[in-house]
Amino acid sequence: MEKATKERFSSLTLLSASERKYPKSPDEAKLESFDNLYADRDYVIEFDCPEYTSLCPVTGQPDFGHIIIRYVPDKRCIESKSLKLYLYSFRNASTFHEESVNTILDAVVKECAPRRAEVIGHFRPRGGIAINVKATYGDPIHE
């Protein structure tokens, strides 16, 4: 690997790790990012996670959802393996749907400081009611 490329990705510890250490909670999980080579233009990055799970903080029963993360990067882009492990960490977390969507948005914003971002959660019905939550940062994302 060329030296400049190696330096560019030197901060990514999870992508190259052959050992998988699954974080036990979102607080323990680590999002990572890398330099955006196209920071001079707007473009949308979308992550689609149809197998999101967390635990109801009252009953302890599992909640299932579909999380979509969309953002317009500035100087940094989220690395997808670290995001996968971060989202996986909610599997053991007791959280309401509204809290998990906002927590994910806060983590993305903190890690890569995007120009705009949104996290959408479509949660499976429990007790006959489905819950959909959308949290945004900055101006709306138009396509």
Catalytically annotated residues: 56, 63
Q: What Cα–Cα distance (Å) separates residue 41 from each residue in 9, 44, 73, 110, 112?
A: 21, 10, 9, 21, 16
The four Cα atoms 128, 130, 131, 134 give a dihedral, to 10 degrees, of -170
Alpha carbon distance 30, 22 (integer Å) = 10
Neighbours of 58 (CB within 10 A): 8
- Whether 86 and 49 have beta carbons less than 8 Å apart is answered as no
Beta-carbon contacts of residue 115 (< 8 Å; ≥ 6 apart): 42, 71, 72, 73, 74, 138
Alpha carbon distance 17, 105 (integer Å) = 25
